[in-house]
Amino acid sequence: MMNRVWNFSAGPSVLPVEALREAGDEILNYNETGQSVMEMSHRSKAFEPIIAETEALVRELMQIPENYKVLFLQGGASQQFAMVPMNLKNKGKAAFIDTGVWSKKAISEAKKYLDVEVLASSKDKNYSYIPQLEKIEGDYDYVHITLNNTIMGTKWDYLPDTGAIPLVADVSSNILSEPLDITKFGLIYAGAQKNLAPAGLTLVIIREDLVPETGIPGTPTMLEYKTHVDSGSMYNTPPCWAIYMMGKVLKWVKKNGGAEGMKKRNTEKADLFYKYLDASDFYKATAEKGSRSLMNIPFLTKYTGDEADAVNKKFVKEAEAAGLYNLAGHRLVGGMRASIYNAMDIEGVKALIAFMDKFAKNN
């Protein structure tokens, strides 16, 4: 892999080299069509099997029942913050659990369309943990959680029991990182640029009984789930290249043991890194034990204030010189952040730890 760096970006993120190589081989002439997937019509016979195969792989790897619809949309998770309340509003009230930046944005958007009740929040400790809320009851149209918190480095290790209330989850940064029981949810959505594909594609999986005939009054046609269900995600031109690349990534996931294989791979990486952080007197993880993400690991040095800012900048600069990219932490957490999505190899984590050891001794 000449000139490849270890890419710890939180998104867009590292993709499997195997998938990139295959796409590179086909970039000028896909399947003897004489054209790239980026050039072909989404209505063509050449593209039809691409989107069909990608959906089939999603269903297989995530064990999606037949009564769930798989949609390939655009607009990212941010558009879903609005689409969900526009389409799922019935009685007019939804429940949210606030675990960080993205849940706050989802809450803010939902408030434009219905009454929102925040049942629990981890804001009291800078979102460093997941609240314990085993059972949820109430007159809610849905309950919303953010299953993995990219910025804060936390994840839900359990699912709240919502009974007959549909559970909705943003799974952008942990989809297919481990097995997930889809039947526990009414709807999940994911921006694909973390674990699945390049940016520009959003995967939505929705139970068919939750697809309304229309959204709330005034809902644009493009923001109604039924529009995309009825058209097979082809109401307008879909993100063809990203769908094609998702298919490549999913084949790689399947080849490497599916969701169970990803869990084993990701647990090994995360355990190695957290063990290093917990044993260090120079670095520390920001997320509390029991709530720690397998995908995103923010960490700080022992320095504080202006001194910490200078050390952090030095760390990121020297890390890049060592071939370790995109390690700057989010401004709300500070420090650094290593995103170790499915495609990140454990050798990348080992290289990062070796660099961190050297940096700690020198600083």
Three-state DSSP state, 69: strand
Burial of 242 (0-12, 13-18, 19+ CB in 10 A): buried
How far does the chain reach from its first CA to its final CA, in angstroms? 31
Task: Let me know: does 337 contact 344? Beta carbons within 8 Å.
Answer: no
C-alpha neighbours within 13 Å on the C-beta side of residue 342: 34
Residue 145: CB atoms within 10 Å: 27
| CA angle at 57 for the pair 54 and 62, rounded to the nearest 5° | 130
Name which of 65, 96, 85 is nearest 224 in CA terms.
Answer: 85
The radius of gyration computed from the CA coordinates of the chain, to the nearest angstrom, equals 21
Note the residue count of the chain: 363
**Cα 356 from Cα 257, distance rounded (Å):** 31
Active site (annotated) includes residue 102: yes
Tokens of 346: 């454990």
Active site (annotated) includes residue 115: no
- Angle (deg, nearest 10), helices 240-255 and 17-25: 130
Residue tagged active-site, from 69, 170, 241, 248:
170
Task: Let me know: does 336 contact 324? Beta carbons within 8 Å.
Answer: no
Residue tagged active-site, from 6, 102, 241, 252:
102
**Cα 11 from Cα 339, distance rounded (Å):** 9
Tokens of 214: 């229309």
**Cα 225 from Cα 147, distance rounded (Å):** 22
Residue tagged active-site, from 89, 194, 248, 251:
194
The catalytic residues are 102, 170, 194
